[in-house]
Amino acid sequence: MRSIKKTTPTRKSTKKGFKTKEPYLFKTIDKTEVHILGTAHISKQSVEEVEKMIQSIKPDVICVELCESRMKSVEDPDYLKKLDIFKVFKERKMWLLLSSLILSSFQKKMGNQDIKPGDEMRKAITLGRTLKKPVLAVDREIQTTLKRSWGNVGFFSKMYLFSALLASLLVKEDVSDEKIEEMKSDDILKDLFSQIPKKYESVKNVIIDERDIYLAEKIRQATLDRKVKKVVAVVGAGHLAGIERNIDLQNDLSLLDEVPRRNLWDSFSLILYPVFFAGLIGYTTWSQGGEAGMELFSKLIYIKGGLAALGALIAWAHPISIILAFITAPIGTFVPIFKAGWVSALSESYLRKPLVEDFERIAEDSETFVGFWKNRVLHIFLVFFLPQFGSTIGTFIVAGKGLRNLF
C-alpha cells in the first residue's frame, strides 16, 4: 500500500469535555468541540451513554462508525430481507455477502434479548433524526475493507481466514456483562490480532489501522464547516487510540478507498489451466493416438463434472442446479469465468428464493448442522461451495491421470 501523506499537526487537545464512565476522547479542532465516545456494540450501558451525551451536548453533527450501506441496514430492520440473492450471485458479490452474514450472525449470538448488536449506533441515528441534525456514516464501505483484506493475502491464507470465520458460526458464546465491559478496553482489538500469525499482519492493518485513519479523517472533515461548533462521534472503543493518533493529521482517503487490482499472477492463472489441459490433451493425442486423447477428454468431463454434480447433490440442490454443475465444471476448465459453484448457486438462488424467515433465522440455523440445509440463505452457499470443491478435486485427479499416462 502506498504511504499516506500527512501534514504537521495543527490542532490541540484539551481536558475539558463530557463526563462519562465509557472510554471517551475530547478534542478541539479550531473552535469546534469533538466528543468521541467509545462503545461496545452489545452494551446496554453504551446505549444509555450515547443518549445521555447527545442530549447533554446537543451537537450540530453526529458521526457513527458505520458505512453508508451498513447505516441503511441499521435504519431499516428489513434491509437484508429485501435483498435479492439472485442479483448478489449474478454480480459475483457472494463472498462479500457471506462475510457480512457471518459477522451479523456472530454479533447476534453475542447479543441478548434486551440489546441487539449496533443498538448504540441505532440510538445515535434515531436521536439525530429526531433533533433534525446531520448524521454522518464515517466508516469505510465494508465491501472496500473486505476487498482490500482479501487482496493482501494469498489463496491459502484466504482459506485459513475464511475457515476461521466460518467456524465462528458454529460456536455459541454466552457473553457476561463483565466480558462486555472488557470489550470497551482500548487493547481488546490489539489483543485479538496479536494472536494471529505474523503473516496476517496485513489483514489487521486493513481492518483496524486503516479504519482508524479513515474514521479520524472523516470526523475531522465534519468540523470543517464553520457553522459546526459541536460534533459527537460514536465508535467502537477499540478505535479510540488510533483515532486519537490520527485526528490531528490530514490524510488522503482516496488511497484507502482503492481496491487492489488483479496482479500479474492472477491474470496468468486465468490462462494457465486452459493452456495446461489443452496442451495435455493435445500432447496425449499426438504421442499416444486419438483414442488416448479422447479418453483423457472424456475423463475430464465425467470425473470433474461428476464430482461437481456430487457436491451439488450433497448440498441437496435443485435437479437443474445439479445438472448445471455437471455441465459447467468441464467447460470451466477451458473458460475460467464459468465456475461450477457460481453457476449452480445462481440457479439455486433463482429457483429457490430465500424467504423472510430464512434471513431472520440465520443466526439460529447456523448453530446446527441441519440448519445449513434447512435455511435457504445458508443453503445457497452450500450449493456454491460443494460443487466448486468437487470440481477442484476433479481437476487434480484428471491432471494426475493425464501426467501418469505420459510418464
Percent of the chain with pLDDT over 70: 69
pLDDT average, residue stretch 33-39: 92
Which segments within 144-301 are labelled E, that is strand? 230-236
pLDDT digits (tens, 9 = 90+) for 363-398: 677 667 787 888 888 888 889 889 999 999 999 998
**Per residue in 207-245, is it b (16+ CB within 10 Å) or e — as a string?**
ebbbbbbbbbbbbbbbbeeeebebbbbbbbbbbbbbbbe
Indicate the DSSP class of residue 258: P
Give domain limits for the chain: 12-246, 265-406
pLDDT at 36 over 90: yes
pLDDT average, residue stretch 29-33: 90
What is residue 183's three-state secondary structure?
coil
Best CA proximity match to 317, nearest among 348, 353, 355: 348
Rounded CA separation 192/13 (Å): 29
pLDDT digits (tens, 9 = 90+) for 275-307: 888 888 888 888 888 888 899 899 999 999 999
32-39 sheet: strands from edge to edge: 12-13, 24-29, 32-39, 230-236, 61-64, 135-137
pLDDT average, residue stretch 179-190: 49
Angle of the 376-406 helix axis to the 290-299 helix axis, nearest 10: 160
User: pTM of the prediction?
Assistant: 0.68
Q: What is the pLDDT of residue 41?
A: 66
pLDDT digits (tens, 9 = 90+) for 133-170: 999 999 998 778 877 877 666 656 666 666 655 555 55
pLDDT at 186 over 50: no
Q: Are 246 and 212 contacting, i.e. CB atoms less than 8 angstroms apart? A: yes
pLDDT at 64 over 90: yes
- Average pLDDT over the chain reads 78
**Which positions ≥6 away from 14 have C-beta within 8 Å?**
26, 27, 28
**Which positions ≥6 away from 369 have C-beta within 8 Å?**
none
Rounded CA separation 40/181 (Å): 7
**Which positions ≥6 away from 59 have C-beta within 8 Å?**
35, 133, 230, 231, 232
**Which positions ≥6 away from 176 have C-beta within 8 Å?**
none
Count of residues in the chain? 407
Look-up of cell digits 453457476: 343
